[in-house]
Structure 1
Amino acid sequence: MNLVTFTRRCRHHLIAALCMTAAMAAQATDFPSKTVRIIVSFTPGAAPDIVARALGDALAKKWGTAVIVENKTGADGVIASDAVAKAAPDGHTLYLATMGNLALAPATVERLPYDAATAFRGVSFVAGNPFAVMLGNGSPVKTVEELVQLSRKKPLTYGSAGTLGPLIGAQLVRQTGLDVTYIPYKGAQPALMDLAGGQIDMVIADLPSLLPTQRQGRGRILAVTTKTRSKLAPEVPTLVEAGFKDFDFSTWYAVVVPAKTPDALVDKLHADVSDALTQTDVVQRLLTLGMTPQASTPKAMDDLIKRDLAQWSRIVRDK
């Protein structure tokens, strides 16, 4: 190839790249050009649905266009995830996803119709929910070590619901040596009723579900399952403080988009979602769910998804 031909090819590639960059910038500038959908894998009225509608209302005001929430339930969130993974990467389909959707389901569901590791791009973190261990109000146990010692003297039981709670319980057993039997429940509230009635010794559930029971004096939270204490209950210690340095498990909510969404559009969505998370209406609606809004960069969200996907794949494999 002579110098003239090489120069021409370089010029053509440069022009093509500039055109593509300009097109992507224009796409971000023109967005939104139609109704925006926020996909949720839960039923109307569930916490993720409430969060999605709060964000949708704020974004609709900012964009001056309709933002609707679509509830695509079933198959452990796979139906919703698949719909987003295969949607046009034009910013008009957002996914209010949970840790369960993006990290836990890929570790527990066989033959996903999409590649969980590459199907999505993070826009922003939205809020996190630590899990916690609650004891009956009459329990004499004050520390995790006392709980472990008690379990060696008499059989203990714990109740939990869903997939994440029992997996956290299994890690608690593995890391602390606790001798306890898992009792499955269809929800946190039936488990808490049995805890108050003395039918079980412990409940493992998300912290917001447990706080009303503690405030009513019908149970006592022993520890949270995150590295740092929760702002919702700063008096409750962590399992890390109890000496289990790798114990860091929680659920979270995030906004993600199809993987091929252009950078310029992701940046715009990130800026607008981050702004929405500071709006008074959004903050108040999340606080009523026991959540504190917290935005992140797209990269930080991508890193969190990768970390939790690897973590839960390893945990489920080693179960």
Structure 2
Amino acid sequence: MIDRRHFMIAAAGAATAGWHLPGLAQQVDTNRVLCGFPAGGTTDAVSRRVSEKLRSGFARVSLVENKPGAGGRLAVEELKRSAPDGSTLLMTPAGMITLYPHIYTRLTYGIQDVTPVCTAGTVGFAFAVGPMVPESVRTLRDYLAWAKAHPDRASYGSPGAGTTPHFVGALLAKESGVELNHVPYRGSAPGVQDLLGGQLPAMSSPIGDYLPHLRSGKVRVLATSGAKRSRFLPDVPTYTEQGFKALEMVEWYGFFLPPKAPADVVERAAQAIRAAVQSPDVIDGFAALGIEAGANTPAEMSRAVREETVQWQQIVKRVGFVPEA
């Protein structure tokens, strides 16, 4: 979440490391990739692009199984109940594993109930304003000044309460001292539509959500959340450049096996996913979604999960978020 040091491995480096797909004799007959969000969304798109590649080595048949609901939790619960033989994988944003334990008091799983395999890519977040905000607002500081002067309209949307973009906005309010009302949506699409339509002044969401709308002129992206400027929005300064270092964060998409998965199954799955993520068509497909393709090792991903779970605990406490049942 906070940075990229745990999970980005360049394709060139991978090629010299001797990674290869498992032999046909080790193939899983049928593999299902659980996705906790509806078909057509970003998580679903990532799942499908990688799943298609798994058919070339890891499994004879690989299919995405959408289990939307409860903010992605249903898919994690399904993984927890599944056999650890490689027949079931979960593809999910990191927050379902590292953040949710701190915002749901009755969560039925924890990090001990999943086996990290490897990441598929990372996504940064952006803060954008729409037609409700005057054209003169061109920077993050401009928006904060406008919000302070118009408290009745000082709000921002996010893809949902308890999501990473929600906390980016909450940290912005905390760091700036400007009260910003959070408007949660059920996914990014309805929030972006309200932003475009002038019903919502601002939106905190993954970078890819804004890319199709930039040419319309209705969306002005004011900040991005990476350590450096996004290659997808090179003219947009980061939060850090604008004085908000605490908002430097990205989120990874990762694959998990059920608990107690054997080491050989974990490694075979990791090899297959790394090979998929290095494919030029997957890299290009991810880029269209504002995602940087990149994979790591099971050990690196396990370390990232542990560290980021602690980091999220601190962030949730800092912004004063009240855990939900």
- State the TM bucket, normalised to the shorter chain: 0.7 to 0.9
Runs of 4 or more consecutive aligned structure 1 residues displaced over 4 Å after TM superposition: 27-30
5 Å matches for 1:182-193? 182-193=182-193
Kept in 2, the 8 Å contact 1:227–1:247? The answer is no
Aligned to 1:69: 64
- Is 1:151 the counterpart of 2:123? The answer is no
SS at the partner of 1:66? strand
Give per-residue Cα distances to partners, 1:178-223, cap 9 Å, x unaligned. Answer: 2332334444344344434444332211111112222221121000
Q: Which residue is equivalent to 2:123? A: 129
> Where does the alignment leave 5 or more consecutive residues of structure 2 unmatched?
1-21
Q: Match of 1:171?
A: 171
Q: How does 1:268-287 map to 2 (within 5 A)?
A: 268-287=268-287
Q: Secondary structure at the match of 1:179?
A: coil
Q: Deviations over 1:125-170 (max 9, x none)?
A: 1112211111236432333333333333332222333122333211
Match of 1:9 in 2: none
After the TM superposition, which residues 87-166 of structure 1 pair with which residues of structure 2 at under 5 Å, given as runs?
A: 87-114=82-109, 116-136=110-130, 138-155=134-151, 156-163=154-161, 164=163, 165-166=165-166
State the AA in 1 paired with 2:250: S
- SS in structure 2 at match of 1:48: helix
Using the alignment, how far apart are the partners of 2:179 and 2:28 within structure 1? 57
Give the aligned residue type for 1:160.
S
Identity of aligned residues (%): 30
Instruction: Report deviation, 1:33.
Output: 4.1
CA contact (8 A) 1:148 1:177 kept: no
Distance 1:259 1:186, change over 3 A: closer
2:13 corresponds in structure 1 to: none
**What number of residue pairs does the alignment pair up?**
292
1:207-255 superposed Cα distances (whole Å, 9 cap, x missing partner): 1111222222112100012322222112211111112222123333111
User: In the superposition, relative to structure 1, how do residues 306 and 276 fare at CA in structure 2: closer, same or farther (>3 Å)?
Assistant: same
Highest RCO, 1 vs 2 (Cα 8 Å, sep ≥ 6)? 2
Tell me, in whole angstroms, the C-alpha distance in 1 between the residues paired with 2:174 and 2:316. 13
Taking structure 1 as the reference length, the TM-score comes to: 0.82
Moved more, 249-258 or 216-225: 249-258
> Counterpart of 2:242 in 1: which secondary structure?
coil
RMSD: 2.5
**Match for 1:113: what amino acid?**
T
What are the within-5 Å matches in structure 2 for residues 201-212 of structure 1? 201-212=201-212
Question: What SS does the aligned partner of 1:52 have?
Answer: helix
Q: Which of these two proteins has the greater Rg computed from alpha carbons?
A: 1
**Relative to 1, partners in 2 of residues 1:215 and 1:305: Cα closer, same or farther, differing over 3 Å?**
farther
* Partners of 1:298 and 1:170 in 2: CA distance: 32
Distance in 2 between residues matched to 1:34 and 1:314, nearest whole Å: 43
The amino acid across from 1:274 in the alignment is R
Letter in 2 for 1:275: A
Match of 1:315 in 2: 315
- Which TM-score applies when normalising by structure 2? 0.80
* Letter paired with 2:272: D
